Structure 1
């Protein structure tokens, strides 16, 4: 398995974990107040960004349909501005963007 493939599998694993940990919440407020799940999900968002950073530049260039830089930027926001995170924004990402990202990553494997 290549380094890029390993990173992609790890991204999928983190997406699955975020979706699992957030599924008991009904909305952003519920999710934010479930501190253990919220905090655990934030770590997995950071992990996704770290795995993207491990993808080869050529791989990212060959697959520009995925917003690699935007995802990495979000990782930096979570890691460096943790207490300024907007729960509504996180909830929107979980509900609307992660499932699509998972499908797109799976199509690369």
Structure 2
């Protein structure tokens, strides 16, 4: 989600609303998503590089995006605690145009 939404609350909201239209999330799934969002992979990579005494170019991008990350994390926490929208059932397929083919060749 980070890469596709660029740590933007409106983009994140649009992404999740669109996802939930196709596949509604339970309250538990919402909390899991918000929790995992707090543990970005690149932070662990940068920390490991620094611990090993390596130069970490990832750290610079983390530092530059940190305030946006914190804003999105706060929004994700609020989103996770909201009640999910009622699932929208897809409309029944249009039965017009469907024909039954009689494959009885013995007639």
Structure number with bigger Rg: 2
TM-score (norm. length: structure 2): 0.32
Answer 1 or 2: which has greater helix percent. 1
TM-score (norm. length: structure 1): 0.32
